[in-house]
């Protein structure tokens, strides 16, 4: 598995096209995702469109005919980041931290003293991406699949490298930023970031199928299995893995229904105060496509969409929507033959929305 190293506009835009369909043509969606599973672009897919029932395709397990479960659980990878950024923004709204304050004000000596809280959330800190220096490839992944990692260990990997650039001068997607954000939440609230997310977002929104697994290797509830090739290219069932190396950057598990509830509340301003809501989606010349934990893109049709994608061994996720309530949550399990969705997202955009 690998977390997303960078968000590409092409991927985000393509998926977002379905999110903006009004009403989404479920028949067209079904046809395209059926083509994706048939071609090896994914083993199984589920998509939730504008809050409606999930559209599914493919199978839940290699070698079986068992269908992808309705509203099944899955690892969401970097879609964890909007949950963490929301908590940080809530703390800012409560006056417990400042977005433009240096991180070292709260965590002395942890990172370069020029790096601000905002730069963490916007990926403009310059911190090296620790996952680029981990054995997450087919040959190396088995050696760490079940290892428990502490956030300080992950940060140590990153800080052993020089900054990629001077803080605030460029943009680079770095999971390290959100490991630090998780430590920041812990310092300010006095509890692990997982508890803060649970108490501030999961419980109020009643996201009953969303969990922060810490170092648990299980995926609870009905779920499709995820696969990842071994060194010889043979698919291996990696559904069970220790996600602690993802931590605040990518450890969470959820469902399309829960992600739909979360994204709807977030974009409608129900989780943040007005000032922080504006900060959430504010982009800059340095970061034109990414706000504070949320990617921002304009479709060829002119619609602006907001969301995030995520990857972790065996699973891929997309969560995209608009403030007026149109949205898409999509999960796919990695194809056994190592295939990719290819232009499937683009075809969804062209056929269903634009």
Provide the 8-state DSSP code for 53.
Answer: P
- CB 271, CB 324: distance < 8 Å: no
Residue 227: strand pairing partners: 237
H-helix or E-strand containing 261?
A: helix 256-267
CB-based burial, 285-300: b 16+ in 10 Å, e otherwise: eebeebbbbbbbbebe
Q: How many residues does the chain have?
A: 354
DSSP string over 60-127: SSTTS-PBPPTT-BEE-GGGHHHHHHHHHHHHHHTTSS-TTSBGGGTSTTSS-TT-BHHHHHHT-S--
**Dist CA 305 CA 266 (whole Å):** 13
Query: 57, 78, 125, 346: which is the annotated catalytic residue?
Result: 78
CA 60, 263, 85, 341 dihedral sign is positive
Q: Is 244 one of the annotated active-site residues of the chain?
A: no
Residue with tokens 């697994």: 213
Catalytic residues, by residue number, are 78
């Amino acid at each position: 598995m690998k977390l997303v190293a960078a968000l590409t506009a092409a991927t985000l835009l393509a998926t977002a096209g379905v999110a903006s369909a009004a009403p989404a043509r479920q028949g067209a969606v079904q046809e395209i995702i059926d083509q994706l599973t048939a071609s090896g672009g994914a083993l199984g897919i589920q998509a939730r469109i504008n809050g409606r029932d999930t559209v599914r395709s493919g199978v839940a397990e290699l070698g079986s005919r068992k269908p992808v479960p309705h509203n099944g659980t899955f690892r969401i990878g970097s879609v964890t980041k909007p949950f963490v950024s929301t908590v940080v923004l809530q703390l800012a709204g409560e006056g417990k931290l400042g977005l433009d304050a240096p991180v070292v004000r709260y965590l002395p000596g942890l990172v370069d003293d020029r790096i601000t809280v905002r730069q963490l959330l916007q990926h403009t800190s310059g911190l090296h991406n620790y996952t680029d220096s981990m054995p997450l490839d087919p040959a190396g992944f088995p050696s760490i699949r079940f290892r428990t990692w502490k956030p300080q260990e992950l940060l140590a990997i990153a800080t052993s490298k020089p900054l990629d650039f001077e803080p605030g001068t460029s943009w680079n997607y770095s999971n390290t930023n959100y490991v630090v954000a998780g430590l920041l939440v812990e310092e300010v609230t006095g509890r692990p970031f997982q508890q803060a997310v649970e108490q501030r977002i999961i419980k109020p929104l009643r996201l009953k199928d969303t969990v922060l697994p810490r170092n648990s290797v299980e995926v609870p509830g009905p779920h499709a299995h995820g696969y990842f090739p071994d060194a010889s290219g043979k698919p291996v069932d990696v559904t069970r893995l220790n996600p602690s190396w993802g931590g605040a950057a990518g450890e969470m598990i959820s469902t399309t229904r829960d992600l739909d509830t979360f994204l709807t509340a977030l974009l409608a301003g129900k989780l943040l105060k007005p000032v922080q809501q504006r900060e959430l989606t504010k982009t800059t010349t340095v970061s034109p496509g990414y706000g504070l934990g949320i990617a921002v893109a304009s479709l060829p049709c002119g619609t602006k969409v907001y969301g995030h994608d995520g990857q972790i061994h065996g699973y891929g996720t997309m969560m995209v929507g608009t403030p007026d309530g149109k949205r898409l949550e999509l999960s796919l399990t990695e194809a056994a033959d190592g295939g990719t969705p290819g232009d499937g997202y683009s075809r969804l955009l062209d056929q269903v929305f634009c």
